[in-house]
């Protein structure tokens, strides 16, 4: 499949994309908003001529933060346009950079030539930086047509994903050849990009950018102070974070067993997707756990058994509150999450 066939199929699939947005908006109403941006219409005013960074969702936005801050320092005269694809990613970008006047944000339009062209005509970036593996053939081709170099940052490519890309070599190889630089995490991934068509001189192993994340030295102090406010300094506290549907019941069952030996144990339960906050809270109540929602700001009392982490941008702080942690995604066929 070449890019022409890919584009035709994408256009034909747009009604399905619309249906998917509608279905997702039933659980997460934010998906029904800013739809025009997904086609390069109704976009916010963008100052042209800067650097464009694409981070598909929350995890990539957090990983990109040190790089974006470094770009702000190194190029003080340039605006930086940060795009994503999800409402949660958008919220995270606003939380990270909402006070920075040189950061401008919008959704990345879908990968059809007309939408990609309109976006680039508005942003006119001098450089495009894509986080991890969010590669869109038409966006990359439109950049190449305009002479805009495209770099992949924190690149990763599993063996399984490489096989998937390899099945569409007529689409993948020209796309990778049009890119200017690949900063990838490991040599194995570097070789996979080369095998798929990336020019060898453009591929470099740089390690994972996630290790460049700087943690606020006050974080543990604030967490300790809050536990003191809860009179929970001596309570065993554990967190189950980024859980998916089907995992919460298992976690709560484990917590019930834990309470047999540690009756004062506290569980911090953090669903990965905001649209599940209400249903998980109802599950905790049905299972008979005294539950406090973090979003209410209410104190955790001695009888509280579960704290539901239903806020955005606080996960690092919630981890700091806990003595031990379980990272979700591995109790269902999802593949787990990067620790």
Same structural domain for residues 130 and 168?
Answer: yes
CATH of the domain at 113: 3.40.50.11720
CA dihedral 228, 229, 232, 234 (to 10 degrees): 20
| 51-54 vs 80-84, strand pairing mode | parallel
Same structural domain for residues 193 and 77?
Answer: yes
The pLDDT of 221-233, averaged and rounded, is 95
Query: What confidence tens digit (pLDDT) does each residue in 118-172 have?
Result: 999 999 999 999 998 889 999 999 999 999 999 999 999 999 999 999 999 999 9
pLDDT band (50, 70, 90) for residue 213: confident
pLDDT band (50, 70, 90) for residue 95: confident
Asked if the structure places residue 336 within a domain, the reply is no
For residue 258 the two structure tokens come to 């834990």
How confident is the model at residue 214, as a pLDDT? Answer: 79
H or E element: which one contains 210?
Answer: none
Given 164, 192, 212, the domain boundary residue is 212
Asked if the structure places residue 286 within a domain, the reply is yes
Query: What confidence tens digit (pLDDT) does each residue in 255-303 have?
Result: 999 999 999 999 999 999 888 999 999 999 999 999 999 999 999 999 9
Please, what's the b/e burial string for 110-123 (b: 16 or more CB within 10 A of its CB; e: otherwise)? bbbbebbbbbbebb
CA separation, residue 107 to residues 42, 48, 87, 88, 149 (Å): 11, 16, 9, 11, 20
Same structural domain for residues 194 and 45?
Answer: yes
How confident is the model at residue 168, as a pLDDT? Answer: 94
Q: What distance in Å separates the CA atoms of residue 86 and residue 21, rounded to the nearest whole number? A: 11
- Closest by CA position to 314, among listed 238, 245, 216: 216
Which of 88-102, 148-162, 212-226: highest mean pLDDT? 148-162
Contact 128, 143 (CB under 8 A): yes
How confident is the model at residue 201, as a pLDDT? Answer: 97
* Percent of the chain with pLDDT strictly greater than 90: 81
Q: Which domain holds residue 37?
A: 28-212
Given 212, 228, 254, the domain boundary residue is 212
Whether 60 sits among the annotated catalytic residues: the reply is yes
Contact 18, 36 (CB under 8 A): no
Which strands, in side-by-side order, build the sheet including 266-271? 291-293, 306-308, 266-271, 237-243, 324-327
Instruction: Please state the pTM of the whole predicted model.
Output: 0.80
Q: Give the DSSP letter of residue 273.
A: S
For residue 230 the two structure tokens come to 């809860």
Considering only residues 253 and 98, tell me which one the structure prediction assigns the higher pLDDT.
253
Same structural domain for residues 122 and 245?
Answer: no
* Percent of the chain with pLDDT strictly greater than 70: 100
Q: What distance in Å separates the CA atoms of residue 203 and residue 209, rounded to the nearest whole number? A: 16
Neighbours of 159 (CB within 10 A): 10
Given 183, 212, 241, the domain boundary residue is 212
Q: What distance in Å separates the CA atoms of residue 58 and residue 52, rounded to the nearest whole number? A: 17
Contact 207, 277 (CB under 8 A): no
> Number of structural domains, the chain?
2
Please, what's the b/e burial string for 68-81 (b: 16 or more CB within 10 A of its CB; e: otherwise)? bbebbeeeeebbbb
| pLDDT tops 90 at residue 312 | no
Asked if the structure places residue 53 within a domain, the reply is yes
Of 37, 60, 178, 247, which is the active-site residue? 60
Same structural domain for residues 159 and 38?
Answer: yes
Q: Contacts for 191-194 with beta carbons within 8 Å, 24 or more apart?
A: 192/157, 192/159, 192/162, 193/155, 193/157
CATH of the domain at 280: 3.40.50.2000
H or E element: which one contains 107?
Answer: strand 103-107
Same structural domain for residues 69 and 144?
Answer: yes
Query: What confidence tens digit (pLDDT) does each residue in 43-53 have?
Result: 999 999 999 99
How confident is the model at residue 92, as a pLDDT? Answer: 87
């Amino acid at each position: 499949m070449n890019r022409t066939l890919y584009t035709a199929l994408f256009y034909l699939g747009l009604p399905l994309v619309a249906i998917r947005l509608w279905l997702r908006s039933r659980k997460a109403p934010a998906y029904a908003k800013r739809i025009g941006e997904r086609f390069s219409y109704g976009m916010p005013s963008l100052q042209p001529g800067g650097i464009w960074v694409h981070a598909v969702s929350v995890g990539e936005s957090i990983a990109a933060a040190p790089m974006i801050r470094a770009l702000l320092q190194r190029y003080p005269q340039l605006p930086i346009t940060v795009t994503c694809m999800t409402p949660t990613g958008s919220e995270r970008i606003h939380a990270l950079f909402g006070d920075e006047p040189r950061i401008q944000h919008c959704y990345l339009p879908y990968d059809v030539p007309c939408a990609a062209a309109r976006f680039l005509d508005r942003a006119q970036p001098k450089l495009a930086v894509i986080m991890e593996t969010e590669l869109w053939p038409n966006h990359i081709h439109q950049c190449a047509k305009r002479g805009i170099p495209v770099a992949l940052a924190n690149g990763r490519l599993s063996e399984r994903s490489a096989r998937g890309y390899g099945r569409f070599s007529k689409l993948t190889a020209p796309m990778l050849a049009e890119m200017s630089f690949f900063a990838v995490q490991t040599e194995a991934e570097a070789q996979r990009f080369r095998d798929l068509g990336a020019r060898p001189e453009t591929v470099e192993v740089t390690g994972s950018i996630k290790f460049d994340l700087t943690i606020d030295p006050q974080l543990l102090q604030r967490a300790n102070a809050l536990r003191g406010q809860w009179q929970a300094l001596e309570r065993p506290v554990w967190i189950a974070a980024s859980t998916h549907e089907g995992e919460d019941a298992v976690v709560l069952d484990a917590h019930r067993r834990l309470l047999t030996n540690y009756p004062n144990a506290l569980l911090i339960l953090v669903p990965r997707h905001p649209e599940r906050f209400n249903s998980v809270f109802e599950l905790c109540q049905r299972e008979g756990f005294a539950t406090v929602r973090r979003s209410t700001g209410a104190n955790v009392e001695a009888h509280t058994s579960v704290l539901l982490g239903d806020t955005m941008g606080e996960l690092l702080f919630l981890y700091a509150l806990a003595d031990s942690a379980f990272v979700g995604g591995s109790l269902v066929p999802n593949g787990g999450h990067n620790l």
